[in-house]
Chain A
């Protein structure tokens, strides 16, 4: 068991981060090269201010008319993303690991907060899962893969939560925690979760397209 843990926290972690970052760079490079040939329209109407405004209105809570149409979903969706990014990055236990390995660490939040935010996060996942099932216009678009990715996103949080409270078989839970997080990192660049970075490009594009070209807002 310990050997497994060692692999996951040693080479496993390296592989996960390299694939995650390398995969995103690869995907971006590929799309960039392709766009120079086939998406001239992206570059022809570039406008920094319209691009940033188009992105910005989707980064602030209920910043777009679309979000305001479904305010509950809009807020849940917002909290989901904040927790998804914030908890792992600012978790004390993670920062201790960074510190031990590289001597660097970020500010970390009190464990109590992380605990509450994890519960909140799991709540938002349940909400999103039920929303997918309950709303016909979402259900019809949802494939098995969408449910799978949502569960995959939940797993590191669920197992992290259990491990922190030492509920269940600690070692297995911890291994599952690291394993699921590594799989998630590896999947991101090659799936629709690539929106972690591609969002900025697609949103900027519609900003250029509507604003840079037509002086019209797109949010």
Chain B
């Protein structure tokens, strides 16, 4: 029990509010799912939490949704704080909403969606991880999860453009340029902790001759309120991004190498932001798609002498592969970059979550030890490939595998696609500084 999460309010439970949330979500799907689950248990082995916790039956997906959302409906919302605290443990500590179990369920019961609904119920009573709570304040006040000011963001972009002037002539990071083909959105982790990520993106776009811009607001494509259960704020966050792109007249929104940002922008965001047809108002493109196109179409060429000799594996982020349908792009990119590619098993849409998704990484130290336990499956998968380099187009996977690397002594280097492409791409003569 997370005794130390002092923000969990001790107020009496607002049953009316819970009833309201349950009622809004009590559609044909939820009713059917809760009723027809045949308790066959097939979902259990699809869940990496279950596998990592020595097949503890209480960690099977069916048990998790039955004891959380199932109970809430059974009790018609009349639950107490003790119950909500128990739910807290399950909803955030034992599920990353990776959606793998719904593929393994004979009925295709969408357990992740039910877990998300239960998270919303808990959030409405102030029961949710403190790490996420902090980011919600930032989103509300500054429009991004780390509370970066507009000035700081623009300054970082300018700094990065200057930083790489010596390598690529005329490199810029355009801000708010109207009518660009791509409005590039990032994870605040990039400007704040890894500004070179912005520089790398700028290098690639410059070499590819891309028509792009960064927005001065709505540049944060992450959506942690979506994982915290705060659907109104989640909608607002994604709407800011859509609106900015529409205002700038951008043709498409490009998402950085981040998994859940793609899930938010392309799939869940439209509903959260109130688009009744469930489709984003503007086309959403993930970095793996664009980077692959660059290589395929020869807009970026790789120096064959720089291709990686060491064994390489690819971590499919849940929200890019299984929940994004983009599992081939990353593999095709790696064909250009590395000589010895070794896939994990299982892979593609069947790959296991790294254990850092669903808000787990930003949930902070309270959850770190759990992350290391549940990451066991990923660590074993990586170890079995014998790879020395793990490439992943997702910041959460990156951080989680970096932590697992230390915890399980994997001896690997974790990398984004951008980083390797930057190391290996040929700078055309006209872009070489004199």
Q: Do A and B come together as binding partners?
A: yes
Interface residues of A (CB under 8 A from B): 31-32, 34-35, 37-42, 44-45, 54, 58, 64-67, 69-70, 73, 77, 132, 135-143, 146, 192, 194-195, 198-199, 201-203, 205-207, 209-210, 213-219
Asked if residues A216 and B323 are in contact (CB atoms below 8 Å), the reply is yes
Residue of B31, B41, B108, B278 near A40 (CB, 8 A) is B278
Residue of B55, B110, B279 near A206 (CB, 8 A) is B110
Asked if residues A137 and B278 are in contact (CB atoms below 8 Å), the reply is no
Q: In the docked arrangement, what's the CA distance between A58 and B37, Å?
A: 15
Q: In the docked arrangement, what's the CA distance between A32 and B58, Å?
A: 33
Q: Report, nearest first, the 5 A-B pairs whose CB atoms are least far apart.
A: A206-B108, A38-B27, A215-B325, A138-B41, A35-B28
Asked if residues A214 and B323 are in contact (CB atoms below 8 Å), the reply is yes
Asked if residues B108 and A54 are in contact (CB atoms below 8 Å), the reply is yes
Q: In the docked arrangement, what's the CA distance between A42 and B31, Å?
A: 14
Asked if residues B32 and A137 are in contact (CB atoms below 8 Å), the reply is no
Interface residues of B (CB under 8 A from A): 24-29, 31-33, 35-42, 44-46, 50, 55, 57-58, 60, 62-63, 66, 99, 102-110, 266-267, 271, 276-279, 321-325, 327, 346, 349-350
Q: A140-B63, A195-B38 are in contact. Are A202 and B108 (CB under 8 A)?
A: yes
**In the complex, chain A residues whose CB is within 8 Å of the CB of B349:** 216-217
Q: In the docked arrangement, what's the CA distance between A192 and B66, Å?
A: 14
Q: In the docked arrangement, what's the CA distance between A218 and B107, Å?
A: 11
Q: In the docked arrangement, what's the CA distance between A44 and B278, Å?
A: 7
Q: A35-B28, A69-B104, A202-B107 are in contact. Are A192 and B36 (CB under 8 A)?
A: yes
Residue of B29, B104, B107, B327 near A195 (CB, 8 A) is B107
**In the complex, chain A residues whose CB is within 8 Å of the CB of B276:** 40
**Closest A residue by C-beta to B44:** A137
Asked if residues A65 and B103 are in contact (CB atoms below 8 Å), the reply is yes
Asked if residues B39 and A146 are in contact (CB atoms below 8 Å), the reply is yes
Asked if residues A42 and B108 are in contact (CB atoms below 8 Å), the reply is no
Cβ of A70 to closest chain B Cβ, rounded Å: 7
Asked if residues B28 and A218 are in contact (CB atoms below 8 Å), the reply is no
Cβ of B5 to closest chain A Cβ, rounded Å: 27
**In the complex, chain B residues whose CB is within 8 Å of the CB of A39:** 27-29
Asked if residues B104 and A213 are in contact (CB atoms below 8 Å), the reply is no
**In the complex, chain A residues whose CB is within 8 Å of the CB of B109:** 202, 206
Asked if residues A66 and B42 are in contact (CB atoms below 8 Å), the reply is yes
Cβ of A51 to closest chain B Cβ, rounded Å: 10
Listed by A's residue number, 24 A-B pairs whose Cβ atoms lie within 8 Å are: A31-B32, A38-B24, A38-B28, A41-B271, A65-B103, A73-B42, A132-B39, A136-B55, A137-B44, A137-B55, A138-B39, A139-B57, A140-B57, A141-B41, A141-B63, A194-B36, A202-B108, A206-B102, A209-B110, A210-B323, A216-B321, A216-B325, A218-B108, A219-B103
Asked if residues A66 and B271 are in contact (CB atoms below 8 Å), the reply is no
Asked if residues B102 and A218 are in contact (CB atoms below 8 Å), the reply is yes
**Closest A residue by C-beta to B262:** A214
Q: In the docked arrangement, what's the CA distance between A121 and B266, Å?
A: 46
Q: A138-B39, A207-B108 are in contact. Are A201 and B45 (CB under 8 A)?
A: no
**In the complex, chain B residues whose CB is within 8 Å of the CB of A69:** 42, 45-46, 104
**Closest A residue by C-beta to B35:** A192
Asked if residues A203 and B107 are in contact (CB atoms below 8 Å), the reply is yes
Asked if residues B58 and A66 are in contact (CB atoms below 8 Å), the reply is no
Cβ of A129 to closest chain B Cβ, rounded Å: 13
Asked if residues A202 and B41 are in contact (CB atoms below 8 Å), the reply is no
Asked if residues A192 and B38 are in contact (CB atoms below 8 Å), the reply is yes
Asked if residues A38 and B32 are in contact (CB atoms below 8 Å), the reply is no
**In the complex, chain A residues whose CB is within 8 Å of the CB of B62:** 141
Given contacts A35-B28, A135-B41, 18 further A-B contacts (CB under 8 A): A31-B31, A31-B32, A38-B27, A40-B276, A40-B278, A54-B108, A65-B103, A66-B106, A138-B39, A141-B63, A141-B66, A142-B39, A192-B36, A209-B102, A209-B110, A214-B325, A216-B327, A219-B103
Cβ of A164 to closest chain B Cβ, rounded Å: 29
Asked if residues B107 and A34 are in contact (CB atoms below 8 Å), the reply is no
Asked if residues A37 and B323 are in contact (CB atoms below 8 Å), the reply is no
Asked if residues B46 and A205 are in contact (CB atoms below 8 Å), the reply is no
Q: In the docked arrangement, what's the CA distance between A51 and B296, Å?
A: 32
Cβ of B395 to closest chain A Cβ, rounded Å: 20
Q: In the docked arrangement, what's the CA distance between A45 and B46, Å?
A: 25
Residue of A65, A70, A146, A202 near B350 (CB, 8 A) is A65
**In the complex, chain A residues whose CB is within 8 Å of the CB of B60:** 137, 140-141
Scoring B41, B271, B277, B322 by chain A CB atoms within 10 A of each residue's CB, the highest score goes to B41
Residue of B50, B321, B350 near A137 (CB, 8 A) is B50
**In the complex, chain B residues whose CB is within 8 Å of the CB of A136:** 55, 57
**In the complex, chain A residues whose CB is within 8 Å of the CB of B40:** 77, 138
**In the complex, chain B residues whose CB is within 8 Å of the CB of A146:** 38-39
Asked if residues A210 and B103 are in contact (CB atoms below 8 Å), the reply is yes
**Closest A residue by C-beta to B66:** A141
**Closest B residue by C-beta to A215:** B325
**Closest A residue by C-beta to B40:** A138
**In the complex, chain B residues whose CB is within 8 Å of the CB of A135:** 41
**In the complex, chain A residues whose CB is within 8 Å of the CB of B29:** 35, 39, 41-42, 202, 205
Q: In the docked arrangement, what's the CA distance between A34 and B105, Å?
A: 24
Q: In the docked arrangement, what's the CA distance between A140 and B327, Å?
A: 35
Q: In the docked arrangement, what's the CA distance between A113 and B16, Å?
A: 59
**In the complex, chain B residues whose CB is within 8 Å of the CB of A213:** 267, 278
Q: In the docked arrangement, what's the CA distance between A31 and B34, Å?
A: 13
Scoring B26, B40, B66, B109 by chain A CB atoms within 10 A of each residue's CB, the highest score goes to B40
Q: In the docked arrangement, what's the CA distance between A39 and B327, Å?
A: 28
Q: A141-B60, A202-B32 are in contact. Are A35 and B27 (CB under 8 A)?
A: yes
Asked if residues A201 and B32 are in contact (CB atoms below 8 Å), the reply is yes
Q: In the docked arrangement, what's the CA distance between A40 and B50, Å?
A: 32
**In the complex, chain B residues whose CB is within 8 Å of the CB of A206:** 102-103, 105, 108-110
Q: In the docked arrangement, what's the CA distance between A195 and B41, Å?
A: 16
Asked if residues B278 and A41 are in contact (CB atoms below 8 Å), the reply is yes
Q: In the docked arrangement, what's the CA distance between A10 and B26, Å?
A: 40
